[in-house]
Structure 1
Amino acid sequence: MSSTFNRSVLVTGGTTGLGFNCATVIAREHPDYQIIIASRSDPNASADAINQLLGQMNVKFVKLDLSSLSKVRSFVADWKDHRFPPIQSLVLNAALQFPGEAEYTEDGFEKTFAISHVGHALLFFLLTPHLADHARVVNVASGVHDPQQKTGLPDANYISAEELAHPPLALAKANGRQHYTNTKLANVLYTYALHRRFQSIKESTGKNWTVTAFDPGLMPGTGLARDASRVEKFIWFRILPCITPLLRLFLSPNVHTAQVSGNCLAQLAIASDVDGVSGVYFEGNKKIKSSQASYDESKQEDLWQWTIGTLAQSEEEKNAFSMVG
């Protein structure tokens, strides 16, 4: 099957909401690409739905549980077995938000950080040998990482990657949305750290890899709040989607449907007008400045070094993950 396509695109969390709409746009615009949507499950047969909608057969679902490092490694092993064509775009979109006290994965990491950063980082490192020479990486972040945006969520506060992974007691008992804003700041920090490595790789190998961070805005009705309370889910899924125009008028213009934001995300992954653009933060389709804290190179390097030290299982992997050009 993969032999009929010349490039692959991987969208994590691609079975619903933002990721689903992004995958649909890319599949429509590039029938010559193999689109992989990866998530823990696909109860609505999302890949089949996109294929039927477009009258094509270029979308495939592959199971991926980002909360488990062993399952991420198994996913990459399966990727090799499938022999998918070179990866043109990695859209690292999957995320969850847990409203209560800290929850932990089987590997002992706080779940929000584990899914949105740790699992994605391991996925990226292991898939690096499969990237096309002009590949793009898009990290889905959020405006909630920036205290200046006054989103109503707790202000992001990055002390160290170790603290995000294994929060001290006071942070562990805090509102779970604190873990979410902290993690979204980590997504932006990681983007800038990765951009510097890509620049070095370009100078030494000529490979033109790029990475950008993306804020989709507030998207009422998406699956992000699936673990919220019953009342919160009712408001999120039933009330807010019906008043999106009012939210844009009175709350923030950065409120969108998943279709609108999905289209913007897809363009970052494939559009020619952002070819070569790297180390940049986008709000929708606009380049903007990210938070002041996100430009702190000491924080970027703390996250980078912790991530490599945590994920590499051997000196060979440590050297590969370090991405020294």
Structure 2
Amino acid sequence: MQDHPTVQDHTIVQDHPTVRDHTIVMTGASRGIGRIAAEHILRRSPGVHLLVVARGSSGAGLAEELSAGGHTVSHVPADLGSLSSVRSAAAEIRERLERGELPPLRGFVGNAGMQYTNALTEGPDGFESTFAINVLANHLFVRLLQDRFVAPARIVITASDTHFGDLRHNMGMVPGPLWQSPDVLARPGAFPRPDTAAGGRTAYSTSKLAAIHLVHEYARRLPAGIDAVAFNPGFVPGTGLLRNAGPVSRFAMRRVLPVMTLTPFATRPAAAGRHLADVVLGITEAPTGSYVDRTGTARSSEESYDPRREAELWDSAERFTAAYADLP
């Protein structure tokens, strides 16, 4: 695969009358960089209808908060660890688009991510929960909404430095990815010492590598005008990513590691959220299939460019989600 596929980049900022009123669907908007990005998107694109996907009843409160100042925000409930719940959310979005309750769909932001303290957590569909949330939920959303996107449109999937697996990018805090057959990766216990935090972190870095693989495959397979981009916010201390970690790790993430934002090795949440919004809105130019490292396109890891692996992962993701791909 080339560094960046050749399909032309499309900017969806609100300067053009044909894209002034449109819908962006976003997961992971309730906290951290997603919340900051959502606020930037709404301020800078007054014509956007932001549809947030959030768990349980939290979406209603989130939509109300983000609507302050006259912004247009609605919500759809979904548990991203459950593929049937993702299907229900996608079906509701499709119905609202078909009824004309939402303006044309021009964006999907798969920002929600989870890191567990082990690699044994199993979701209701039998998949390992890190893989289900960080990989399969996004894939099912993309596939179920694919024919409802109106070009120019942009899909943004939040990736991570951890997929490099080296000291420069991980600072020794997260083990690098350990790629295996998707049939193994998708199930609990795929990694050494799966009952430990190291196993859970390996599941996380591997899931982020998988996300980049799928972005490359989306760039090959999606219709022209629907771009797919992977976004790396850098290391961002102080977010809720480790909310399932132990008390020592949570304390370090909240109180100790934020000091690193004074160095080039980390990014402040406010900056990371702004960078994500720039990518979503097309302010940061990025051809389809690109990897955006904070403020500009860059090469992801050498391991991430593997067309054979990407095709295998696509086929597996299609198989894993097939039972949920038929809408009611």
**Is the pair's TM-score, using the shorter chain for normalization, greater than 0.5?**
yes
Q: Is the 1:15–1:38 contact (alpha carbons within 8 Å) kept by the matching residues of 2?
A: no
| Fraction of identical pairs, as percent | 30
- Aligned residue in 2 for 1:287: 297
Q: Which residue of 59, 70, 74 maps to 2:73?
A: 59
Query: Residue 305 of structure 1 is aligned with which of 301, 309, 315?
Result: 315
Structure 1 or 2: larger helix share? 1
Look up the match of 1:47.
63
SS at match of 1:124: helix
Q: CA deviation at 1:167?
A: 4.5
| Aligned match for 1:268, one of 245, 259, 279 | 279
Q: Does the C-alpha gap of structure 1 residues 312 and 9 become closer, same or farther in structure 2, counting only changes over 3 Å?
A: same
Unaligned 5+ residue runs, structure 1? Answer: 203-207, 321-325
- Unaligned residue ranges in structure 2 (runs of 5+): 1-19
Query: What is aligned with 1:97?
Result: 115
Tell me the secondary structure at the aligned position of residue 227 of structure 1. coil
User: Higher mean Cα deviation, 70-79 or 136-145?
Assistant: 70-79
The residue identity in structure 2 corresponding to 1:112 is: T
Partners of 2:53 and 2:76 within 8 A in 1: yes
Q: State the match for 2:229 in structure 1.
A: 212
Which of the residues 153, 161, 164 maps onto 2:185? Answer: 164
Higher relative contact order (CA 8 A, sep 6+): 2
Equivalent pair of 1:15/1:46 in contact (CA under 8 Å): yes
- 1:259 equivalent to 2:270? Answer yes
> Which 10-residue stretch deviates more, 295-304 or 305-314?
305-314
The 3 A distance-change label for structure 1 pair 238 and 307 is same
Cα distance per residue 1:104-126 (max 9 Å; x no partner):
10000010010011111111111
Q: Is 1:111 matched up with 2:129?
A: yes
Secondary structure, in 3 states, of the residue corresponding to 1:225?
A: coil
Q: Please, which moves more after superposition, 145-154 or 99-108?
A: 145-154
Taking a change above 3 Å as real, the CA distance of residues 288 and 78 of structure 1, as seen in their structure-2 partners, is: same
- Checking the alignment, whether the CA contact within 8 Å between 1:97 and 1:180 is kept in structure 2 is yes
Shift of 1:168: 4.8
Does the CA contact (< 8 Å) of 1:210 and 1:279 recur in 2? yes
Aligned length: 297
CA displacement, residues 119-172 of structure 1 (integer Å, 9 cap, x when unaligned) = 111111111122112110111000100023341211112122111101456543
How many angstroms apart in 1 are the aligned matches of 2:73 and 2:36? 12
Task: Sort the Cα spacing of 1:129 and 1:244 in 2 relative to 1 into closer, same or farther, 3 A.
Answer: same
- Over residues 182-211 of structure 1, what are the superposed CA-to-partner deviations in whole Å (9 max), with x where a residue is unaligned? 10100111111111113xx32xxxxx1111
Equivalent position amino acid for 2:304 in 1 = S
* Counterpart contact for 1:121–1:307, Cα < 8 Å: yes
| CA deviation profile, 1:224-254 (whole Å, cap 9, x unmatched) | 010010111112123333x1444x2xxxx24
Match of 2:209? 185
**CA 1:238 to 1:61, structure 2 compared with 1: closer, same or farther past 3 Å?**
farther
Is 2:302 the counterpart of 1:278?
no
The code of the aligned residue for 2:159 comes to A
**1:155 touches 1:178 (CA, 8 Å); kept in 2?**
yes
Query: Using the alignment, how far apart are the partners of 1:78 and 1:114 within structure 2?
Result: 21
CA-to-aligned-CA distance 1:16-39 (integer Å, 9 cap, x gap)? 111111111111111211001212
Counterpart Cα distance in 1 of 2:95 and 2:191: 45
Residues 23-68 of structure 1: CA deviation (Å, up to 9, x unaligned)? 111111112110012121428933222222xx11312232221111
Bigger mean CA deviation after superposition, 295-304 or 232-241: 232-241
What's the secondary structure of 2:153's corresponding residue?
Answer: strand
Letter in structure 2 aligned against 1:6:
D
Partner of 1:15: 30
Question: Quick check: 1:12–1:38 contact (8 Å CA) kept in 2?
Answer: yes
Contact 2:60 2:75 in 1 (8 A): no
Q: C-alpha distance in 1, partners of 2:117/2:294?
A: 26
Name the SS for the 1:223 alignment partner.
Answer: coil
Aligned position for 1:72:
86
Please point out which of 154, 158, 169 is paired with 1:140.
Answer: 158
8 Å contact 1:15–1:47 — kept in the other structure?
no
CA contact (8 A) 1:16 1:46 kept: no
What is the match of residue 249 of structure 2? 232
